[in-house]
């Protein structure tokens, strides 16, 4: 197990597994035996290619999906097997910001109704006036204004829509916020504004974030720790500075070599090995180390034995036979 239990941890995820049955009696191994924790007020960045299971992991943690096995401890309480009704009081503590604001914001609702929806679900306000005041205050805090409340989400730019999504997620003052690629669809010029806003809210409210991204460059400035997922499994996890300075898993090294370098001279000098081949199907993940079909260091036992997720140096966990031996 990667992390020890501690009341300092807001979230503890242990051996989480999520399989989706598909036709023909087959199963999609979306998340397999993933363990991690997040300290209160900190950010864990979860990174990996599209299809690696990071979003399924996040949605299982927040109980949009029911886990197949494993456990989810939020603020000291086991929420793994609670029914949707039993979950209701815990929903206030965990909210989600989505990548696709077209899909996640109802086009037929005004911004007022979108942002007020969580307040209504939890019967927070005693009057319409109180609700309007809370929504106006929240809109102001995300850089919008009261005049925006009567408009519809499709009337806004991508950056403004994401601000509405953030307002909706934060109006209940949650403890844990899952940010599922919240800046990937935005213009580069807007990305920094949204990231800075999320950081400000974190400082002001002590928020804890699980920040999902598909490349390592996006999580560098927001995460205290970084976890790297490959084909449903966590393959490396450590402090953010450590993962950029000493990436151990060949997959992490490949992801880092794909990060664009702004200086063309440096970019030419860099070994852009990248990662060869495509990610295999999660319906039939390779035996042994799941990365062996693409790993430049694979040896015979890599296709037979699953490497354990071990602590290679203090706080630095990795699943690779080669590293564990060293």
- What is the contact surface with ligand SF4 in residues (CB under 6 A)? 249-250, 289, 291-292, 295, 297-298, 302, 307, 320-322
Distance in Å, CB of 4 to ligand SF4, minimum: 25
Q: How far is the CB of 319 from ligand SF4 (least distance, A)?
A: 7
> Judged by CB, which is closer to ligand SF4: 212, or 320?
320
Q: How far is CA 258 from the centre of its chain?
A: 20
One-character DSSP codes across 62-126: TTSS--SEEEEEETTEE-TT--HHHHHHHHTTEEEE-S-HHHHS-TTSBHHHHHHHHHHHTT--S
* Shortest CB 289 distance to ligand SF4, Å: 3
Query: Could you tell me if 298 and 289 are in contact, meaning their C-beta atoms sit under 8 angstroms apart?
Result: yes
**Which residue, 205 or 258, is less far from ligand SF4 as judged by CB?**
258
For 283-319, b where at least 16 C-beta lie within 10 A, e where not — what string?
eebeebbbbbbbbeebeeebeeeebebeebeeebbbb
CB 118 within 8 A of CB 95: yes
Q: Provide the terminal-to-terminal Cα distance of the chain, rounded to the nearest Å.
A: 20
Give the phi and the psi of residue 96 in degrees, each rounded to 5. -130, 140
Q: Which CB atom, from 14 or from 249, has the smaller least distance to ligand SF4?
A: 249
Q: Which is nearer to ligand SF4, 62 or 320 (CB)?
A: 320
**CB nearer to ligand SF4: pick between 102 and 297:** 297
Task: Give which of 8, 25, 61, 97 is closest to 234, Cα–Cα.
Answer: 61
Identify which of residues 214 and 292 has a Cβ nearer to ligand SF4 in the complex. Answer: 292
CB of residue 308 vs ligand SF4: minimum separation in angstroms?
10
Beta carbon of residue 301, minimum distance to ligand SF4 (angstroms, whole number): 8
CB neighbours of residue 50 within 10 Å: 9
State the nearest-atom distance from the C-beta of 233 to ligand SF4, in Å: 11
């Amino acid at each position: 197990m990667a992390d020890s239990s501690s009341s300092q941890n807001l979230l503890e995820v242990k051996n989480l597994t999520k399989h989706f049955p598909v036709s023909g009696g087959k199963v999609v191994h979306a998340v397999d035996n993933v363990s991690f924790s997040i300290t209160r007020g900190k950010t864990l960045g979860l990174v990996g290619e599209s299809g690696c299971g990071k979003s399924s992991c996040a949605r299982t943690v927040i109980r949009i999906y029911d886990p197949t096995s494993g456990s989810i401890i939020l603020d000291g309480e086991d929420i793994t097997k609670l029914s949707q009704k039993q979950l209701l009081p815990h929903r206030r503590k965990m909210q989600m910001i989505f990548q696709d604001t077209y899909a996640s914001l109802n086009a037929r609702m005004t911004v007022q109704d979108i942002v007020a929806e969580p307040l209504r679900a939890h019967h927070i306000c005693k009057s319409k006036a109180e609700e309007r005041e809370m929504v106006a205050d929240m809109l102001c805090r995300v850089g919008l204004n009261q005049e925006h409340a009567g408009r519809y989400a499709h009337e806004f730019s991508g950056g403004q829509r994401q601000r509405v999504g953030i307002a909706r997620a934060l109006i209940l003052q949650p403890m844990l916020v899952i940010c599922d690629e919240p800046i990937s669809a935005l213009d580069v010029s807007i990305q920094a504004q949204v990231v800075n806003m999320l950081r400000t809210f974190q400082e002001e409210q002590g928020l804890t974030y699980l920040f999902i991204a598909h490349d390592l460059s996006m999580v560098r400035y927001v995460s205290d720790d970084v976890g790297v997922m490959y084909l449903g499994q966590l393959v490396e996890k450590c402090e953010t500075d450590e993962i950029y300075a000493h990436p151990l898993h060949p997959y992490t090294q490949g992801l880092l070599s794909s990060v664009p370098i702004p200086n063309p001279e440096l970019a030419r000098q860099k070994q852009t090995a990248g990662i060869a081949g495509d990610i295999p199907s999660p319906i039939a993940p390779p035996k042994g180390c799941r990365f062996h079909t693409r790993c430049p260091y694979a040896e015979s036992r890599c296709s037979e034995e699953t490497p354990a997720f071990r602590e290679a140096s203090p706080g630095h966990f990795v699943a690779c036979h080669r590293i564990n031996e060293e």
